[in-house]
Amino acid sequence: MKFRKKILPFLIYFLPLSVFAIEYHVSPTGNDANSGTSDKPLRTIQAAVNKLQAGDVCIVHAGTYRENISINQSGTSGNPLTIKAAKGENPIISGLDMLNLKWKATDKKGIFVVDYSGAEFEQLFCDGKPLLLARWPNVPRDKNGDWDFFSPNLWAAVDSTGNNYGIIKDKHLAATGWNVTGATAILNVGHQFFTWTRMVEKHAAGSDELFYPKNLGKSIKPADETGKGLKFNDDRYYLVGKKEFLDAPGEWFYDTAKKQLFFCSQDGKIPTKSIFEAKVRNFALTASEAYYLTVDGITFFGTAFKFGKDLKSRSRFITFTNNTVLYSSWTEFFSMPDDDPMAGSDKNFPQIYSDNVVLSNNVFSYGALSALFINGFYNLIENNEFHDFDLNSSLIYPPLLVSRNQLSYDGKGGNAVIRYNSIYNSGGILTQIGQRDNDFYMNDLHDAFRSCYGGNKDVSALYSQSVYCRGTRLHHNWVHEAYCGTPPYEWNGGIGIRGDDNTAGLTVDHNVVWNIGSVGIMMKNPAHPTPEQANRVLNNTIFQHSKFNTPKTAIIFSTEGKSKKGDVETDLNTTSNQFSVVDNNLAEQIDGGWFAAKLGTVADYSGNATGITVENQLVNPELFDFRLKTTATDLLNKGKRIEGYTEGANPSIGAYERGDSIYWIPGRRNVKASFPIVPNEASVSADIDVLMWRPAYKAIVHLLYFGTDPNKLEKSGKFSAEKNVFTLPKLVAGQKYFWRVDAVTSDGLVFKGDIWCFITK
């Protein structure tokens, strides 16, 4: 496995803290008049922050802190300002305030009301769980009783005819008998890769026509992808903001005119003992231009954080590690116009405008918008988990957004390293990578497009775009389980990895892409690229894709159409791919566009294996063993050697080299070894040759124990940090085998692994 080495200048400031550092303790039992010692703690984090000087530490003890924390000073190299959890404790910075509510029954069973004249809010929680603003249609519940934002019933579907830009036709809305003029509409319309929030301009009770403003932007056009003019007849939408919509347990509504808050209780009973909290702090922790700041071990609940102000006013040397971020956004407003009274609500998610960030070992869970937007130079995003975001599917709000490929961001970000992350469960795409010279590798991306019902098919799990991504490399990742909507469709979409319009200088190599609705990799080059804008697709393995498409194209280098430069019209088959490199890919079919368009002129097309059923060439793809079989003699050692990207003189075709001492397993690493291959409790053939595992985070050695008695496992191997392939002895059929992998860190700590087992057939 060959990775390009990259110098990371952000690592140079991890030096010992000053011996003169002071610790300030914070506790819910403290008092801001105290000195801040462990026996006389302060009450608020802000009070401690106000005292911090370079090298000082704010130690936060368990409890909930409901405050806006603003950091206006900086640390220095080797002496950062630090806010961290007390050892073994879980402090929570909350964006919520508790409400003292005395509910009364209404004439509707299960719905209760209380007079409320306090500050208005966008989000309401009950007993630590998010409630929903009353809406139509209702959000169903999943098997655990939680909101199922990935249900096909999330959206209202328009009628099959009569829809157009600005008009929704829906017989089911007519059947309600409501007049929804003035309601808020969440619109997934037109091309459907964006979602908008707009006020309903006109509707009449009993009418099947709803009108919304035609101000959604230049990307909305009247013709669909096939040119049949049916663009709007598969639209999706839902409505909020009317008391009539309040009819499902867990919903709420606020009548601003009457100053009354309504709630539909979970069990139909008056909620006398429940705790209600309203979101009042969108960003509970901010640092506009702070340098050398560390935040460690804090839980953020119902709120976000922001480091740096914008592209010009940014922070530097931020370390954000071991934190948990829950429900950072829960509003359902998307891409609102600037003059909307709720404008800004669609930007309430964690944001970092900073250079030299280390964002490591955090968990970001649940949010209507993005989990994180980060922009700057030389940022490290390592070993994090991002899941359940972008609930309503919009290209603007992926769980992880690393800069943007737009002119306004050019020269203001890049050189990020994004590795060992697990990113999953998104209503739309999973990750966007913007700007130049980024290195995105060893990430596990799965379960994308989960709210893409109807026409929203033009999406990709891993996305980059434009000439501004030059020098970025996407490699050694898994991208899988990504289907749009409910099959079958004429074009069931959902692309694995995509370099969209005018992508230039992007390298996509050694990825495994499987179980997706459309093509595995798509590259859309500039019409007239320069040599340095060449895109490269190398050594990828793609299978079980395009399930509802024919032909089964795995890789597309888009060359369709013609381009006019001056008075000369050029066929893109001869220009757009003239510097492209397509080598060593294991893919059923490689084409130049949809419907098997000719690939056209390519600078280098070598070592690709097409026209075969890819999964039949792999050892056991169902058990995540994507090595080539020993019988795949037409693929083993038959690829082209590519300097800087392949090992040895005769590389194999596809993403893995059989016989390598490293079997790369992407995704977030635990303190213990994880992700056993073969999986725990699996039944496998007695002729399996190896066991493999995901290395532990920051381990320098792994010790493997093996045997037939889980209580008497024998030490059978010692492996340096990344090496993770154990060659098995000869096995006996019908035997149960046990194994364990212990992880050793640089400071001598040993993390004993779980005991795994498999049975031979």
C-alpha of 283 from chain center: 20
Cα distance between residue 231 and residue 234, in whole Å? 7
- Residue 374 contacts residue 328 (beta carbons within 8 Å): no
pLDDT the model gives residue 13: 47
- Residue 536 contacts residue 508 (beta carbons within 8 Å): yes
Dihedral sign for Cα 485, 488, 491, 492, please: positive
Rg (CA), the chain: 27
Query: What is the rounded end-to-end Cα distance, in angstroms, of the chain?
Result: 32
Kindly state the tokens that stand for 602: 């390519």
pTM of the predicted structure, to 2 decimals: 0.95
Cα distance between residue 293 and residue 57, in whole Å? 10
Which residues of the chain fall short of a pLDDT of 50? Answer: 5, 7, 11-15, 488, 490
Cα distance between residue 133 and residue 330, in whole Å? 10
pLDDT the model gives residue 524: 93
Cα distance between residue 582 and residue 43, in whole Å? 61
Report the amino acid identity of residue 571: D
- Residue 410 contacts residue 377 (beta carbons within 8 Å): no
DSSP 597: B
Asked if the bond preceding 551 is cis, omega within 30° of 0, the reply is: yes
Which DSSP string do the residues of 152-212 spell out, in sequence order?
GGGSEEPPSSS-BTTEEE-HHHHHH----TT-EEEEE-TT-SS-EEEE--B--TT-SEEE-
Cα distance between residue 101 and residue 78, in whole Å? 49
DSSP 411: T
542 DSSP β-pair partners:
513
Cα-Cα-Cα-Cα torsion 291, 295, 301, 307, nearest 10 degrees, comes to 10
DSSP 140: P
CA distances 502 to 465, 514, 555, 564, 734, Å, are 7, 25, 17, 15, 56
Residues 6+ apart with CB under 8 A from 24: 36, 42, 48, 51, 52, 56, 57, 58, 59
Kindly state the tokens that stand for 359: 């964002």
pLDDT the model gives residue 617: 98
Cα distance between residue 328 and residue 285, in whole Å? 12
Helix (H) or strand (E) holding 48: helix 45-51
DSSP 347: G
pLDDT the model gives residue 118: 92
CA distances 212 to 163, 239, 337, Å, are 12, 12, 13
Cα distance between residue 398 and residue 461, in whole Å? 9
C-alpha of 330 from chain center: 16
- Residue 533 contacts residue 526 (beta carbons within 8 Å): yes
Cα distance between residue 728 and residue 738, in whole Å? 12
Which residue, among 610, 632, 611, has the nearest Cα to 621 in the 3D structure? 632
Greatest alpha-carbon span in the chain:
81
Cα distance between residue 625 and residue 252, in whole Å? 48
Report the amino acid identity of residue 759: I
Phi, psi of 45 (to 5 degrees): -65, -35
